[in-house]
Structure 1
Amino acid sequence: MLRSKAKWNYVQSDEHAMPIDDSLSALTNQLLRQRGIHTKEAADYFLSPKLNHLHDPMLIHDMDKAVSRVKEAITNEERILVFGDYDADGVSSTALLIETLRELGAVVDYYIPNRFTEGYGPNEQAFHKASEAGISLIITVDTGIAAHHEALVAKELGIDLIITDHHEIQETLPAAYAVVHPKCSPSYPFQELAGVGVAFKFAHALLGDLPKHLLDLVVIGTIADLVPLHGENRVLAYYGLQALTRSLRPGIQELKKVCSLEGTMTEEDIGFAIGPRLNAVGRLQDASPAVELMLTEDNDEAAMLANQIHELNQERQQIVADIAKEAEAMLEAEGDILPSVIVVAKEGWNQGVLGIVASRLVGKYDRPAIVLSIDSENNTAKGSARSIDAFDLFTNCMEVRDLFTHFGGHAQAAGMTLPLNHVDIVREELSAKADAQLAPEDFAQVLNIDQTLEIQSITLEAIDDVNKLAPFGMGNPKPLFALEKETPSEIRQIGSKLNHLKVKLSADGKEMDAVGFGLGDVYTRIAPKSRLTIVGELSINEWNGRKKPQLMMKDLQVDEWQLFDYRGNRHLQKTVQDVPKDNTLALYHHPVPREEEWMFGTFDVLEVVEDEMADDLPLEEVDHLLIMDLPPSLERLSTLLHKLAPKNIYACYRTDDAAFLKTVPTREHFKWFYGMLMKRKQFHLQNEGPKLAAHKGWSVDAVEFITNVFFELEFVRIENGLVTLHDNPSKKDLSESTLYQSKHDYLTVEQTLYFSSYRQLRAWLEEQFNQGAHPKEEVINEP
C-alpha cells in the first residue's frame, strides 16, 4: 500500500443530468456543472467571454473623483507620480498606468520602493522626496490600502493621494483624496480584480474607451497574482493571452525569447516563466528594470533588460534553494513533531524570496509557514507567510495584530514585520489557533478530482474539450482526473537527479505515459505489478510533429498491500535504506545474526523463536513488515501475518543451505533402508554411511536423517554408531516423527517462500490475508 500525499476529494456530479448544451461533449457538460454552470446562457458566457462583459469602471468607489483629479492635473501640467509595487502585479500595474497617462499627455514618472531599504508600500521618506521634486499628485497601484500614516503625510505635504489597490481592507480606509478599490464599492459587481485589473479599469475610465492595447499588460499581473479567474478576471485573462501572443512590445518579445516561449501563450507561460522572472527583479534589487522592459520601445534596450532579468531569476532560484535547505535543516533539528504553524527565522536571509521559501515549506510539511529574516541591529524580523487551504492566514493574524509592527495580505499569503521577541509568541499563538480550528486531515493538500477516466477515453479530442474551459487558475482550476487501479507496464525515474517519475500505462493496445514532476522519491515504494490509482491533468506531448495524450501526475496511491522481493539479497543494509521507518517492523524467527545487528538501530525488531510466541504476542498492525529469515513452518508466519496485517511486505530472507536443493528422503528411501537392515541386521553409520550414500546417489545427510527418524520412532537402536533393529519395533507412521515432519515442513517453507516465483509468493501471502490465521499446510514431496 502506498498512501497518497494529498487528500483526494472526488467532486460529486450527476452523470445522468440533462446536458447543458447538446453541442458540447458529455465531459465538457460535466465539467461545467461542477463549476456551478447549469444553463446554456451561463455556459456561453463562460466558454465564450466577451469584452462587453466587463463592467462600467465608474461604478468603482471614488473613480469619478480620481478621474477628475487626474484630468485636472494633466490640464494644469502638474507633475504626477505613479507609486507601484515590486512584484509582477505591481510592475505591470505601474507600466500600464504610466503608458495611459503618457498617452493623455501627462507629466508623469513612477516610483517603486526598494524592498530591502524601504519595505512594502508607500513610505514617508519617499513622499518627502516626491514633494521636493514638485510632485502634487501621487497615484498608487497594487498598494496603499494600509497606508494610513502615509496618507496623512501626503496631506501635510500638500500632495493629493489617489490609492488604487485590491488587497484586503483593514479596519478603516486611509484618509486619501480618493480610494479606488472594488472591495469598498458595494455597487461594483466584481470585487476580485488584481492590482493591474484595478489599474486597467482606471485607464478605461481615464481614456473613455476600453484600452484593448493594454490587455497584454493586464493579463500578466492578473495571472501572476493568483486572483480568481472568473468574472472580469476571466475576460481579461482570455483576451489578454491573445494580446500577449501577438504583442509587438519589444520588451514582451524579448522576454518570450529568454523564456523560450513560442506560439500561443497560455496561463502556464505566465505562471511558470514570465511571472517568476518579473518577480525576481524586485526580489533581489530595485524593480525598475522590469518596468522599463514593459515600457521600452527600443529593441536593443529590450534585449539587454530581458537578459538581465533572466540572469536575476537564475540567481533568485539558487538563493531560494539555499534558504529552503537551511530552513528544512532547522525544522528537522526540532524533531519529528512540528508546530501546527511553522515559523523559522535567521539573520542574513534575503527578504525578497522568503514568500517562495514559505511556499516550499507548506508543500513539504503540509502546514502554514512563516519565514523571517532577522535584523539584529533593530531587533526585528521581517518576512512572508503562506498558508494551507483550511487556514485563513489573514483572519488569524489579524486576531493577533498587536504582535506585528506591520502586516498585510490575503487568506493564503501575507507579509509582516514584528519585534524579534514576538517571533516565538506568534508561533505559539497561531499554532494554538490552528490546533483549535483544524482536524489532522485538514493539513493535507486537497486535490479535487473532477472525473474518473479509462485510458481508452483519453484522446486528443477529449483534451481539446477540457481546454475549452481555459484559461485555468484560481477559481477555475485545471480539471483533475483519476485513472484507477492501472497496472503499469513500466515505471522509472527520470531527470538528471532522478527526482521525477514516468509511468507507462496500456489498455487494449493503447499506450499512454504519465509523468510526475517531483514524484521520483516514490519509485522505491512501488512494488512490481502493483495497481496504481493516479491523479493528474490531461496534456498533449508533442515531439517531432507528432501529438499524443499524456497525464501530468499530481499524486498517486496503491490501494492494496504490496510485496517487495529482496530474497537472496546480499547487500540488504543498502537495499532497505529507502524503507520508511515509521510503524515498521523487522521480523526474525531465529536470533538476530551478528552481521545483521545494525537492524536494531534502524527498525523495531521482533524475534519470534517459538511457535507459542506467535500465538501469545499482543501485536498491532504495522505498515511495513520486513521478513528477515525463513520461519520453521508456514503456520507460524501465517499467524503473524494475520495479527500484524502489514500493508507492505519486504521479503528479505536468504538461505545458504537449502534443503530443497538436496536429496530429501521419500517413503521409498525409508522402505529400502529398512529392508537393508533386515537383511544385514546391523549397519555402522560412520564407517558405512558414506559408502551407502555413494552407492545409492544419496547424500550422507540423507542417510543420517533416515537413521535418526527410525531411532525417534523406536524402529532401531544406535550404540556407538552401530545401528540395529529393535526386536519389537513400534507400529508408527513416518509422519509421527517430529524430525521427519519438521524436515518436510521446512522443505515446504523453502519451496513456498524462497524458491517460488514472485507471483507464486504473492499468491500465497494473499491467501493468508484472505483466510486468516492457521491455514492448512500443503505438504510437498510427501514420501
Structure 2
Amino acid sequence: MTYKWNFLTLTHDQKNKKNELAQELNIDPVFSELLLQRGISTKEEAFGFLYPSLADLHDPFLLPDMEIAVKRIERAIGNKERILIYGDYDVDGTTAVSLVYKFLRRITNNIDYYIPDRYDEGYGISFQGIDYAVATGVKLIISLDCGIKSIKKIAYAKEKGIDFIICDHHMPDDQLPEAVAVVDAKRHDSIYPYKELSGCGVGFKLVQAFSARNDFPFSEIESLLDLVAVSIASDIVPITGENRILMHHGLKQLNSNPSFGLRGIIEVCGLTRKTINVSDIVFKIGPRINASGRIMNGKEAVDLLLATDITSARIKSKNIDKYNEDRRELDKRITDEAIEFIDNKLNINAQKSIVLYNETWHKGIVGIVASRLAERYFRPTIVLTKSNNMISGSARSVPGFDVYKAIESCKDILENFGGHTYAAGLTLREENLEEFKRRFGIISFDEIEARMMQPKIRIASEITFDKITPKFINDLALFQPFGPENENPIFLTRNVTDAGGSKLVGRNLQHIKMEIVDPTITLPVQAIAFSQPSSFSLLKENQPVDICYTIEENTHGNNTYTQLMVKSIRKSNK
C-alpha cells in the first residue's frame, strides 16, 4: 500500500511553547511537541494527561436524568421489584450488562439480565425482550448501549407496566423515548463535560452515581474497571478525557486482578504472562467476546463475564474460543468472496464508496468484512445480507467521511439504523435496497475527495536513532494507552541503512525483519516491516531509506527489547 506522508505541525504559538513546556516537565522537546499536538499546553494539563487520576472523573450526576435513574433504582430495590439488565450483543453491550449486573446483585437477588438474539431479534430493544420481562415479573428494565431510538418499544413496555431507564451513548433523534430516565451525554440538553463514553462507560457512571448517593466506597466499583477497559478498546471510542482515565486504570485492573471471566479469556488468548495493552483487547480479547453474539448468542459472553470461579470460567472460555475459530473461518471466506467480486465485477476506480449485498453471507460477520474492505480499498463500505426477510448490515468509513450522517440522510427508507461517525448498522426492506444504494452513492460521490481515498501516515516527529534511549522509552510509555485520538505516535528517521542482518521472513516471505542503523549510531536497531517485501531490495542494495514507524517494547522470555514497527519505507532523497 502506498501511503501519503503528512507531517503534524504546530502553530506559531505552540512552537514558542514547546521548549518552555519541555523544561517545566523535564522531558525531551519531542514529548512536549506530542503534548501540544494533543491540545495540551500547560503543566497542569500535562500532568492530568500523563498521570491519569480517578479523582478527575466527572460528577456522574451531571449526566442528564442521572438523579432520576438512581432514585428509581433505589425505589425498585426498596420495593423488592424485579429488575432486568438489558444490553446489546456486542462487546460494549455485554460488558455493560455484566458490569451493572455484578454491581446490583450485591444489593438485590431480584435481578436478571437479557441479551437479544442477533438473528431473531436484531439490534437493541426488542418486543421479545419486553415480553420476556412481562413473563418473569419485571417492573424495571435498565438498558445499556441501546434504547435511545426505541420509541415504540419503550411505549409498549409502558403499556405493560414496565419502567425503562435508558443508558446509552449513541446519538439521539429529536424525540426521546418516554422512559423514566434517559442517561446519554449526547442528548442535546446534556451539560456533561465529556461526550464520548462507551456504553459500558455509561453503565459505570450509573453505578458510580448510585454508590456515591448510598455512601459506598469507590473501591467497591474500582474492580469493575477491567470491563470498562475492554469496552472502550473494543468499541473504538476516543481514548481521551474521561475515557483515558477509565482505560488507564481499567488496564491496571486487567493486568493485576481481572475477573474470573476475563482471566479465562486471557488464558485462551495466550496472554497470561504478558502485559496486556489496547491492541491485545482489540485483536484477541474483544473478538472472542464478540464471537459469542456473532455465532451463537451474546448471553453466553455475559455468562462467562459473570463467572464466580476460575473452573467454570475456563470451560466457558474454551467454548467461546471455539466460536471465535468458526468466526475466523467465516470471516476469511466471506472477505475473499467480497474481494473477488470487487476486483472482477466492480470498477473500483470509478467508485467513491462500496455497497455489497449477498443474502447468503452470515449476519454476524458482515461488520468485520466491512472493516477489512474499508481498510483495503480505503473507501466507506457497507456490507449487507438477508435476515428475517429484511436486509441488514454494517458500515465502516474512512477519515473525513461521516458514514452515520450519510445513512441518517436515508432514514425515510430505513427500518432501523444507529452507530457512530466511522461505524454504523442499518436495516431496510429489500424493495428499498437499490434506492438506498443510489442515494448513498450520490452522497459519497459529492462528499469524498480523491485525497480522502489515499491512506495517510500522520508523522508526529522526525528523530534520529540516538534519541531512542531508555528514558525516551519510559517517557513515551506515559502517553499510553494508545487508541483513537491518542494514536501511538509515528516517528520519521532519514538515511537509514541495513546493518547487514535484514532478511525476509514469514510463510510467503512477505515481511522484512530489519537490523538497521542511521548516521547517529553504530549498534543496529531491531525493526519489522509487515507486508512490504518490495522495499527489501533497497536495503540489500545498501540504498539509504527514510522510514516511518512506531516504537514498541516486546518481551521474549525474561528479556524486554525495543522494536520499531515500520509503517512505510521510501528511498532517501539525500
**TM bucket normalised to smaller:** over 0.9
Quote how far apart the aligned CAs of 1:304 are.
0.2
1:3-42 correspondence runs (5 A):
5-13=2-10, 17-20=18-21, 21-42=24-45
Contact 2:226 2:258 in 1 (8 A): no
- Residues 513-534 of structure 1, C-alpha deviations (whole Å, 9 max, x = no match): 2212343466579883343322
Match for residue 473 of structure 1 among 483, 501, 508: 483
Measure, in 2, the Cα distance between the counterparts of 1:511 and 1:345: 50
Q: Which position in structure 1 is the counterpart of 2:70?
A: 67
Contact 2:538 2:545 in 1 (8 A): no
1:26-175 correspondence runs (5 A):
26-175=29-178
SS at 2:358's partner residue?
strand
Q: Which position in structure 1 is the counterpart of 2:547?
A: 534
Q: Which amino acid aligns with 1:529?
A: N
Measure, in 1, the Cα distance between the counterparts of 2:119 and 2:204: 28
Shift of the 497–423 alpha-carbon distance from structure 1 to 2, 3 Å rule, reads farther
Quote how far apart the aligned CAs of 1:499 are.
3.2
Quote how far apart the aligned CAs of 1:554 are.
2.1
Match for residue 184 of structure 2 among 167, 171, 181: 181
Shift of the 213–288 alpha-carbon distance from structure 1 to 2, 3 Å rule, reads same
Q: Which position in structure 1 is the counterpart of 2:200?
A: 196
1:317 aligns with 2:320: no
1:369 aligns with 2:374: no
Match for residue 353 of structure 2 among 333, 338, 341: 341
SS at 1:18's partner residue?
helix
Match for residue 381 of structure 1 among 379, 387, 391: 391
Q: Which amino acid aligns with 1:85?
A: D
Measure, in 1, the Cα distance between the counterparts of 2:9 and 2:573: 24
Shift of the 233–95 alpha-carbon distance from structure 1 to 2, 3 Å rule, reads same
Measure, in 2, the Cα distance between the counterparts of 1:559 and 1:371: 40
Q: Which position in structure 2 is the counterpart of 1:393?
A: 403
Measure, in 2, the Cα distance between the counterparts of 1:554 and 1:306: 34
Measure, in 2, the Cα distance between the counterparts of 1:315 and 1:222: 25
Measure, in 2, the Cα distance between the counterparts of 1:420 and 1:519: 42
Shift of the 522–87 alpha-carbon distance from structure 1 to 2, 3 Å rule, reads farther
4+ residue runs of structure 1 moved beyond 4 angstroms? 520-527
- Residues 138-189 of structure 1, C-alpha deviations (whole Å, 9 max, x = no match): 1101111111111111111111011100012223211212101111253211
Contact 1:7 1:441 in 2 (8 A): no
Q: Which position in structure 1 is the counterpart of 2:281?
A: 270
SS at 1:539's partner residue?
strand
1:351 aligns with 2:351: no
Shift of the 427–7 alpha-carbon distance from structure 1 to 2, 3 Å rule, reads farther
Shift of the 530–294 alpha-carbon distance from structure 1 to 2, 3 Å rule, reads same
Contact 1:145 1:173 in 2 (8 A): yes
Contact 2:60 2:205 in 1 (8 A): yes
Contact 2:460 2:489 in 1 (8 A): yes
Contact 1:494 1:520 in 2 (8 A): no
Measure, in 2, the Cα distance between the counterparts of 1:351 and 1:159: 31
Shift of the 544–306 alpha-carbon distance from structure 1 to 2, 3 Å rule, reads closer
- Residues 487-544 of structure 1, C-alpha deviations (whole Å, 9 max, x = no match): 3345533222333332331234121122123434665798833433221210124335
More displaced 10-residue stretch of structure 1: 458-467 or 269-278: 458-467
The Cα RMSD (Å) is 2.1
SS at 1:24's partner residue?
coil
Aligned-pair identity (%): 35
Q: TM-score, with normalisation over the residues of structure 1?
A: 0.68
SS at 1:128's partner residue?
helix
Count residues in correspondence: 556
SS at 1:450's partner residue?
strand
SS at 1:182's partner residue?
coil
Quote how far apart the aligned CAs of 1:290 are.
1.2
Shift of the 234–369 alpha-carbon distance from structure 1 to 2, 3 Å rule, reads same
Match for residue 411 of structure 1 among 418, 421, 426: 421
Quote how far apart the aligned CAs of 1:204 are.
1.1
SS at 1:161's partner residue?
strand
Shift of the 199–372 alpha-carbon distance from structure 1 to 2, 3 Å rule, reads same
Shift of the 547–68 alpha-carbon distance from structure 1 to 2, 3 Å rule, reads closer
Gaps of 5+ in 2: none
Q: Which amino acid aligns with 1:531?
A: P
Quote how far apart the aligned CAs of 1:110 are.
0.4
- Residues 553-577 of structure 1, C-alpha deviations (whole Å, 9 max, x = no match): 222333669xxxxxxxxxxxxxxxx
Measure, in 1, the Cα distance between the counterparts of 2:538 and 2:435: 40
Contact 1:374 1:381 in 2 (8 A): yes
Match for residue 516 of structure 1 among 517, 523, 529: 529
Shift of the 447–192 alpha-carbon distance from structure 1 to 2, 3 Å rule, reads same
- Residues 660-693 of structure 1, C-alpha deviations (whole Å, 9 max, x = no match): xxxxxxxxxxxxxxxxxxxxxxxxxxxxxxxxxx
Contact 1:460 1:540 in 2 (8 A): no
Q: Which position in structure 1 is the counterpart of 2:339?
A: 328
Contact 2:535 2:569 in 1 (8 A): no
Q: Which amino acid aligns with 1:6?
A: Y
Shift of the 483–103 alpha-carbon distance from structure 1 to 2, 3 Å rule, reads same
Measure, in 2, the Cα distance between the counterparts of 1:500 and 1:425: 44
1:548 aligns with 2:561: yes
Measure, in 2, the Cα distance between the counterparts of 1:257 and 1:427: 44
- Residues 80-127 of structure 1, C-alpha deviations (whole Å, 9 max, x = no match): 111111111111100100011111225110000011111100111221
Contact 1:61 1:179 in 2 (8 A): yes
Contact 1:341 1:369 in 2 (8 A): yes
- Residues 688-714 of structure 1, C-alpha deviations (whole Å, 9 max, x = no match): xxxxxxxxxxxxxxxxxxxxxxxxxxx
Measure, in 1, the Cα distance between the counterparts of 2:258 and 2:244: 23
Bigger relative contact order, structure 1 or 2 (CA pairs below 8 A, ≥6 apart): 2
Measure, in 2, the Cα distance between the counterparts of 1:350 and 1:525: 43
Quote how far apart the aligned CAs of 1:465 are.
1.5
Shift of the 363–11 alpha-carbon distance from structure 1 to 2, 3 Å rule, reads same
Q: Which position in structure 1 is the counterpart of 2:504?
A: 493
Measure, in 2, the Cα distance between the counterparts of 1:213 and 1:363: 36
Contact 2:116 2:123 in 1 (8 A): yes
1:450-465 correspondence runs (5 A):
450-465=460-475
Measure, in 2, the Cα distance between the counterparts of 1:317 and 1:91: 20
Measure, in 2, the Cα distance between the counterparts of 1:521 and 1:338: 27
Contact 1:254 1:302 in 2 (8 A): yes
Shift of the 255–85 alpha-carbon distance from structure 1 to 2, 3 Å rule, reads same
Measure, in 2, the Cα distance between the counterparts of 1:213 and 1:132: 33
Q: Which amino acid aligns with 2:155?
A: L
Shift of the 525–385 alpha-carbon distance from structure 1 to 2, 3 Å rule, reads farther
More displaced 10-residue stretch of structure 1: 526-535 or 456-465: 526-535
